[in-house]
Amino acid sequence: MASAAKTHSDPGRRNQTLTPLLRVEDLRTYFFTSWGVVRAVDGVSFDVGPGEAVGIVGESGCGKSVTALSIMRLVPPPGRITGGRILFYAGGEGQDVARMSERRLRELRGSDVAMVFSDPMTSLNPVLRVGDQVREAMAAHRRFTPRQAGERVVPLLQRMRLTRASRRAGTYPHQLSGGARQRVMLAMGLSNEPRLLIADEPTAALDLTVQAQVVELLMDLNRELGTAIVLVTHDLSLVASLCTRVVVMYAGQVVEQGPARQLLRDPQHPYTWSLLRAAPRIDRPRPVRLAAIGGTPPDAARPPFGCRFHPRCRHRVDRCSSDEPPLDPVGDHHLARCWVTMDGVAAGQPDGPL
C-alpha cells in the first residue's frame, strides 16, 4: 500500500506514507441540473489518518459539504458521484464507499463513520425523546445489545457534557437549547464509537460561548477516544483550534492543503492568503481597510478557464487564465495549486511584491 501511495501520480499522495483511515482519490461529484452540469466536486483528493483531525475549508458553493456528503454517500439527486474512489480502511484492505453495496453502506454509516450537521433541529426527530433517539442510533447497528444500549444513553450524554443528562434524556428536541441539541447529535454520532466523525459546520448555529464549549468537546473526543474528525467549515479560526491538517477548497477543487500551522501561518495559495486577510483579526492591529477579495465565487456550472481563482486574484499572470495549475508540493507535506509561487509574500506583508 505504502509503495503504491508513493508512486501514485496524484501529487496529493506523494508525502503520505502511513496507511490512512480514509483516502479520497480524485473524487468527482456532479449535479445534473436542467441548466447544466454543476461540477460541485471536481477531482478532490486527500487522506485522513487514524485519529487525525482534518479541516476542509472554503466558502459557500466551494464543494466542501458535497465532499462530506459524498464520503457518506448521501449526495441528494440530481447529484451523483461520477468518478474517483473513497477508500475506507476498516482494518487491512480499503473498501470503496463509492461502490459499496447498500447493506455494507448501512453498516458503515453510523458505526464506522458518523456525521453531524450544523442545524441539529433538522436532524433530530421532533416527536421522539432525545434519549430514545440516542438508543435507536445504537440499536440500528447492533454493536451493543438493546440492554447495553439503554444503559449507555445517559453516560454518553454526560460525556458530551450535557448537564442534568438523565433528566434531559426524557425531553424532546424543542425543549433543548441549540447547544444542548448539538450535544445530543454528537452523542448519537459517537454512540457506536465510530472511527471517523464528519462534522459539517458543527458550531455555525451556535453562540460564541456555546461554540467554545463544543470546540472543547470535539478536541477532547479526538484526544481521548482517538476519533478521527473531518471538520467542514468556512471558519479558519475554528480549523486553527481543532485541526492538524487543512484542505482548502475553491470552486470544486482543492487549491491548497498542508499542516495547519504551516498553511495558516504561511499560506502558499493567493486564495488562502486572501481569506486569512479578509476577516478582521483580534490578534492583529486594526487595519484601516479590510483586504476584501474582489468579485464573487464562480458559478460551479461554468468555472473560469485556467486557474479557477484567477478572475479574483491580485497576483495572476498571463498563464493563469489559460492553463489550469496542478496541485504541486510547495513545502513539506504542503501542496498548492498556483502558477505564481507565493514564496516571500508572507501574510504579514500586505500587498508584498510577487
The answer to the question of residue 106 lying near another protein (CB under 8 A) is no
Residue in 65, 98, 93, 95 with CA at minimum distance from that of residue 81? 98
User: Which residue matches cell numbers 508540493?
Assistant: 329
Q: Does 240 bind another protein (CB under 8 A)?
A: yes
**Shortest approach of another protein to residue 249 CB, angstroms?**
13
**Cα separation, 167 vs 157, whole angstroms:** 11
Q: Is the Cβ–Cβ distance between 267 and 276 less than 8 Å?
A: yes
Cα dist from 266 to 37, 270, 312, whole Å? 35, 11, 20
CB 217 within 8 A of CB 186: yes
Nearest-approach distance from CB 264 to another protein, in angstroms: 5
- Tell me if 163 contacts another protein by CB under 8 A: yes
Shortest reach from residue 162's CB to another protein, in Å: 10
User: Binding residue for another protein (CB under 8 A) from 1, 128, 225, 291?
Assistant: 291
What's the CA gap between 279 and 287, in Å, rounded?
Answer: 11
Could you say which DSSP state residue 316 is in?
-
Q: How far is CA 222 from the centre of its chain?
A: 15
The reply on whether position 48 binds another protein by CB under 8 A is no
Pick one of 145, 175, 296, 322: the residue that binds another protein (CB under 8 A): 296
Of 19, 82, 171, 237, which one interacts with another protein (CB under 8 A)? 237
Residue 343 CB contacts under 8 Å (≥ 6 apart), including other chains:
268, 330
Q: Kindly tell me which residue out of 175, 177, 322, 341 binds another protein, with binding defined by CB under 8 A.
A: 177
Q: Does 179 bind another protein (CB under 8 A)?
A: yes
Q: Does 332 contact another protein by CB under 8 A?
A: no
**Binding characters for another protein, 261-290, by CB under 8 A (x = yes):** x--xx--------xxx-xxxxxx--xx-xx
Q: Judged by CB, which is closer to another protein: 145, or 346?
A: 346
Per DSSP bridges, beta strands 79-89 and 94-96 are antiparallel
Rounded Cα gap, residues 267 and 261, in angstroms: 10
Distance of CA 176 to CAs 115, 130, 164, 211, Å?
20, 10, 12, 16
Nearest to 206 by CA among 187, 234, 178: 178
Nearer to another protein, 81 or 248 (CB): 248
- Least distance from C-beta 275 to another protein, angstroms? 6
Chain positions 191 to 210 lying near another protein, rule: CB under 8 A, are: 207-210
- 165 scored as a contact of another protein (CB under 8 A): no
Q: Alpha-carbon distance 283 to 273, whole Å?
A: 16
Residue 134 identity: V
What DSSP element (H or E) covers 293?
Answer: none
Q: Does 60 bind another protein (CB under 8 A)?
A: yes
Q: Which is nearer to another protein, 115 or 238 (CB)?
A: 238
- Minimum distance between the CB of residue 80 and another protein, rounded to whole angstroms? 26
Shortest Cβ 233–another protein spacing (Å): 11
Name residues whose C-beta falls within 8 Å of residue 193's C-beta, 6 or more positions apart in sequence: 143, 225, 227
What is the closest distance, in whole angstroms, from the C-beta atom of residue 216 to another protein in the complex? 7
Smallest gap from Cβ 239 to another protein, in A, equals 7
Shortest Cβ 128–another protein spacing (Å):
22
The residue ranges that bind another protein (CB under 8 A) are 59-60, 163, 177, 179-180, 207-213, 215-216, 234-241, 260-261, 264-265, 274-276, 278-283, 286-287, 289-294, 296-297, 312
